[in-house]
Amino acid sequence: MTCRKVRKLIPLIAGDDLRPGLARAVRAHIDACPRCRAELEGFRAALAEVKSAAKAEGVPEWGEGEWKALMARVAAEAKKAGGSAGGVAVPSFKPRWAAASALGAVIGLAILSVLFRGPSPRPERTPGEIGMVIASDNPRQDRIAIIMVSPESGLQVVWFLDKNFDFKGEQE
Amino acid sequence: MNETERELITMVLSGRSEAFEPLVTPYRGPILALAYRLTRDREDAREVAQEALLKAFRSLGRFDVSRSFRNWLFQIAANEARDRYRKRSRERAAFDELVDRAPSATTGSAAAGPEAGRDRQELRAGIMRSLAALSPREREVFVLRDLEELDIRETSRVLGCSAISVRVNLSTARRKIRDAIRRDLPHLEEKR
């Protein structure tokens, strides 16, 4: 691993935020490289300064009156919602509205099913007719991997897509 | 999530709204502190925390009990802070421009070193001002991971993004903070 690559990963190794395999490789380099080690120590010290400043910094606190007023608002909301569960207003449909909604949904679905019918069966094509084969009987060609590398941090992520270009997962 | 929280949530959802107060009381301090660290403004923080708790109450029925209740509250607060940031970004931009134009007392005396009589409190404020260099997303990631000490996975869940996105933003945030400290508080570097 080169110094350049390690320097990109130092902000993450400073907080132990690299996955174990990569962290081992970075640490092995840092152990042997005094300049990268100094850079890492600089990052760790800066992080420690910020953490310590944040801990010592006064954060606002609730006034008791303010807290009681907030809880009173919660109670008022609960009352307004008619005592329904946790102030969560559960919509209460009257039967005729429920029937009208159901009817509307059925009609909507019927229209959608007419408008968006599935594709008709495709004619069989021989590989020779197609310029580029993305999907084939070979399972190795049914999976597409896209590798992206962050230029700033040097981190890379691999996205896997299936033959329909549906996202199937990622791997760092 | 512990058993008491589970019981309190059940009570609130069954209509006993008074159970909401004991449910959220353990988190009232942390949620206000988080709001303050994200907004860097006491009044905004209060409003964000209040709104977040009200929203938590309203949407408690949608809470997934397999998740951490604290992290769920943090998620609501982070969303609320982000919304507020967007609303106020124009006002802030104008204000920051004015501040930037004014001679920086922090930088000037920091360069003179601690001997110039700078006390610890001002130094802390200077360090915390380095967070201003971060974008909203970088600040969220930095505050949750480094100040609230959530791990990468928890941070990604709170912010609704991938772990890799958290790492990329965290890396950028730490680098910016390190650069800001190096630039604005050089005596801290020299002390080491």
Report pLDDT digits (tens) over A14-28. 999 998 889 999 999
Name residue, tokens 């390690």.
A6
**Do residues B29 and B51 both lie within one domain?**
yes
Is the pTM higher than 0.90? The answer reads no
In this structure, the answer to whether residues B52 and B118 fall within a common structural domain is: no
Same domain, B147 and B66: no
Q: Do B12 and A49 touch (CB under 8 A)?
A: no
Last residue of a domain, one of B45, B64, B90: B90
Which residues in chain B (158-187) have CB-CB distances under 8 A to chain A?
A: 162-164, 167-168, 170-172, 174-175, 177-178, 181-182
Instruction: Locate B172 and state its tokens.
Output: 């950028």
Q: What CATH number does the domain containing B42 carry?
A: 1.10.1740.10
How many CB atoms lie under 10 A from the CB of residue B154? 20
C-beta neighbour count of B1 within 10 angstroms: 16
Cβ proximity of B152 and B160 under 8 Å: no
CATH code for the domain of B148 = 1.10.10.10
Query: What's the CA gap between A157 and A171, in Å, rounded?
Result: 6
Q: Are A78 and B192 in contact (CB < 8 Å)?
A: no
- Give the number of A-B residue pairs with CB atoms closer than 8 Å: 156
Confidence of residue A116 (pLDDT cuts 50, 70, 90): confident
Shared domain check, B166 and B133: yes
**B17 contacts A87? CB cut-off 8 A:** yes
Please indicate whether, in this complex, the C-beta atoms of A75 and B146 are within 8 angstroms of each other. no
Query: Do the domain assignments include residue B57?
Result: yes
Strand partners for A149: A156
Domain count, chain B: 2
Helices (H) and strands (E) in chain B, counts: 11, 0
Smallest CA-to-CA distance from B25 within A67, A66, A60, A86 is with A67
Domain boundary (B90, B114, B143) is at: B90
* Percent of chain B scoring above 90 in pLDDT: 54
Neighbouring-strand partners of residue A159: A146, A170
Flag if A152 and B175 touch (Cβ within 8 Å).
yes
Pick from A3, A57, A12: nearest CA to A172: A12
State the pLDDT confidence band at B99, using cuts at 50, 70 and 90. low
Which of A106-115, B1-10, B171-180 is least confident? A106-115
Which residue from B36, B171, B188 is facing A49, i.e. has the nearest CB? B188
Task: Please report residues of A whose CB lies closer than 8 A to that of B42.
Answer: 60
Q: Is B95 helix (H, G, I), strand (E, B) or coil?
A: helix
User: Quick check: A16 and A46 in contact, CB under 8 A?
Assistant: no
Co-location of B75 and B147 in the same domain: no
**B91 has pLDDT over 80:** no
- Tokens linked to A107: 């009609």
Weakest mean pLDDT among A125-134, A160-169, B129-138, B161-170: A125-134
DSSP per residue, B29-89: HHHHHHHHHHH--HHHHHHHHHHHHHHHHHTGGG--TTS-HHHHHHHHHHHHHHHHHHHHH
What's the angle, vertex CA A18, arms to CA A17 and CA A22, rounded to 5? 165
Residue A40: other Cβ atoms inside 10 A: 21
Whole-number mean pLDDT of chain B? 84
Residue written as tokens 């945030």? B173
Q: Spell out the residues 6+ positions from residue B86 whose beta carbon is closer than 8 angstroms to its own.
A: none
CB A19 within 8 A of CB A12: no
> What residues pair up with A170 in beta bridges, in sequence order?
A159
Tokens linked to B27: 């988190």
The encoded tokens of residue B13 equal 């959802």
CB contact under 8 Å between A17 and B145, yes or no, is yes
Residues A14, B174: C-beta atoms closer than 8 Å: yes
> Which chain B residues are closer than 8 Å to A78 by Cβ?
15, 17, 57
CB contact under 8 Å between B170 and A170, yes or no, is no
**With contacts defined as CB-CB under 8 Å, which chain A residues touch B171?**
8-9, 11-12, 150, 152-153, 155
Nearest CB to A57; choose among B57, B128, B146: B128
Return d(Cα B38, Cα B138) in angstroms, integer. Answer: 10
Indicate whether B31 and B85 sit together in one domain: yes
DSSP structure string for chain A: --HHHHHHHHHHHTTT-S-HHHHHHHHHHHHH-HHHHHHHHHHHHHHHHHHHHHHHSPPP---HHHHHHHHHHHHHHHHHTTT-GGG-------HHHHHHHHHHHHHHHHHHHHHTPPPPPPPP--GGG-S--SS-SSGGGSEEEEEEE-TTT--EEEEEEETT--EEEEE-
Spatial separation of the C-alpha atoms in residues A65 and B46, rounded to whole Å = 13
- CB contact under 8 Å between A152 and B171, yes or no, is yes
Q: A12-69, pLDDT tens digit by residue?
A: 999 999 988 899 999 999 999 999 999 999 999 989 988 988 888 888 889 889 999 9
Q: Does residue B63 fall inside a structural domain? A: yes
Question: Does residue B137 sit at the A interface (CB-CB below 8 Å)?
Answer: no
Q: Which of A71, A155, A167, A172 to mutate to test the interface with B (most CBs of B within 10 A)?
A: A71
Instruction: Provide the CA B128 distance to its chain's centre, in angstroms.
Output: 12
Domain housing B145: 103-192
Average pLDDT along chain A: 78
- The answer to whether residues B43 and B73 belong to one domain is yes
Q: Are residues B73 and B147 in the same domain?
A: no
Minimum distance, in Å, between the CA of residue A78 and any CA atom of chain B: 6
Same domain? B171 vs B123? yes
Q: Give residue for tokens 């910020």.
A: A50
Strand order in the sheet with A167-171: A143-149, A156-162, A167-171
| Domain contains B170 | yes
Q: What is the predicted ipTM?
A: 0.74
Q: Which of A120-124, B61-65, B97-101, B122-126 has the highest mean pLDDT?
A: B61-65
Q: Flag if B29 and A15 touch (Cβ within 8 Å).
A: no
Chain A residues touching B9 at Cβ < 8 A = 86
Classify residue B157: in a domain, yes or no: yes
Residue in chain A closest to B180 (alpha carbons) equals: A46
